[in-house]
């Protein structure tokens, strides 16, 4: 059964990429702290604006240019902290988490469908390995780059070998399914 390795690989890879969900949830603690700080300093700046920047609402003293500059700088810095925390979450969510889950599910589907296709064994094996290697060379490398901060992985990602193998495997699967899909399990 040629597709068995894709099914097993798909479920194991899905478990590893789905596990990134709790990691992203942990990162929301830092985001919450940054967002609370942003609300405080931006709220202070909004209160200053509401008073037409004439006096400090806490001390009721005239507002100096330095005080206004400090309030602006604190607001900008706090918004930057929120953005940096959001980027850290999105960096994982948009890469290894989403692509890894998708490519794991593609492996499972391809593995199951391969069991119902009458085609030359070498062609079925080639497609099977294209999907596994393509997944490792795409979302596997995304995982290494973005979760474990392995910068060397981006060099291999930039070659686009992984996505190319996945796309080629899917096109070949479509052609094989068109010609050899039997609707019942076939013997390899």
Does residue 95 register a pLDDT over 90?
A: no
**57 pLDDT band (50/70/90 cuts)?**
low
Does residue 2 register a pLDDT over 90?
A: yes
**Which range has highest mean pLDDT (35-44, 67-76, 166-175)?**
166-175
Q: Which residue is listed with tokens 């999907």?
A: 131
* 77 closest CA partner among 27, 42, 29: 42
- Is this model's pTM higher than 0.85 or not? no
Domain ranges across the chain: 4-180
Rounded to whole angstroms, how far apart are CA atoms 160 and 131? 14
Does residue 22 register a pLDDT over 90?
A: no
């Amino acid at each position: 059964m040629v597709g068995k390795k894709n099914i097993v690989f798909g479920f194991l890879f899905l478990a590893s990429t789905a596990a990134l969900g709790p990691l992203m949830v942990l990162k929301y603690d830092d985001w919450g702290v940054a967002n609370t700080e942003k609300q405080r300093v931006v709220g202070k700046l909004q209160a200053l604006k509401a008073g037409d920047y004439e006096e400090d609402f806490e001390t009721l003293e005239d507002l100096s240019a330095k005080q206004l500059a400090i309030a602006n700088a604190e607001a900008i810095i706090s918004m930057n902290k929120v953005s940096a925390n959001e980027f850290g979450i999105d960096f994982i969510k948009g890469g290894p988490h989403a692509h890894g889950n998708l490519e794991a599910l593609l492996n499972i589907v391809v593995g199951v469908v391969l069991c119902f296709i009458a085609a030359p064994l070498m062609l079925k094996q080639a497609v099977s390995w294209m999907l596994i290697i393509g997944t490792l060379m795409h979302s596997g490398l995304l995982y290494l780059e973005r979760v474990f901060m392995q910068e060397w992985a981006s060099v291999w990602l930039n070659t686009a070998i992984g996505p190319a193998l996945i796309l080629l495997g899917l096109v070949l699967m479509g052609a094989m399914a068109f010609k050899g899909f039997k609707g019942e399990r076939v013997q390899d």
